[in-house]
């Protein structure tokens, strides 16, 4: 073989090795970027669960009220919880209206976990729309107080509860 042919073959071999290394670097970069994008999506969906919980905490349909007394934030009226839960379970139109616009694909529950020295659990589902093509669930829980105006009227009593918001991401 001539010297020129050998130099051509060396150049082709060096270029081939260079492109193989470049391909591995590109594959590594793409996999790294896709992992970062998935992390951002998870963070975004977790923030949506928190945002839905904040919207529920500010719903006038659930806020505490009692004899002109300011009962504070993260306080829900037990009678209003029961009424809204029953209403939402019985009315598809109500769930599909403004609440679906506010809460989207999520489930909102309020659990009473401690009542007058008794550890017991009472659950109310405020909203439930689980999509068929759900991918992941993002849960946010927040301690709340539940005001029961029927006991020790007109002041009522407070119990401890948990506001649980589950946001469903879809594919």
Distance CA 12, CA 33 (A): 31
pLDDT per position as a tens digit, 109-133: 999 887 666 666 788 999 888 888 8
**Of 64, 48, 69, 95, whose CA–CA distance to 161 is shortest?**
64
Check whether 135 has a pLDDT greater than 80. yes
DSSP per-residue codes, 48-72: HHHHHHHHHHT-TTTB--BTTB---
Which two tokens mark 75? 């306080």
The pTM for the full model equals 0.73
pLDDT per position as a tens digit, 48-85: 888 888 888 888 888 887 655 556 677 888 888 988 88
What are the boundaries of each domain within the chain? 35-170
pLDDT per position as a tens digit, 12-31: 888 999 999 999 888 888 88
């Amino acid at each position: 073989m001539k010297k020129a042919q050998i130099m051509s073959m060396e150049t082709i071999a060096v270029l081939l090795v260079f492109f193989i290394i470049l391909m591995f670097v590109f594959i590594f970069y793409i996999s790294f970027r896709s992992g970062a994008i998935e992390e951002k999506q998870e963070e975004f969906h977790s923030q949506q669960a928190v945002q839905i919980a904040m919207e529920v905490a500010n719903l006038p349909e659930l806020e505490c009220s009692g004899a002109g007394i300011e009962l504070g934030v993260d306080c829900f009226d037990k009678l209003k919880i029961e009424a809204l839960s029953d209403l939402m379970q019985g009315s598809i139109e109500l769930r599909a209206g403004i609440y679906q616009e506010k809460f989207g694909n999520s489930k909102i529950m309020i659990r009473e976990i401690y009542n007058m020295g008794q550890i017991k659990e009472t659950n109310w589902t405020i909203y439930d729309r689980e999509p068929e093509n759900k991918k992941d669930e993002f849960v946010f829980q927040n301690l709340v107080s539940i005001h029961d105006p029927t006991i020790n009227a007109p002041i009522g009593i407070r119990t401890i509860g948990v506001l649980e918001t589950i946001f469903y991401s879809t594919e």
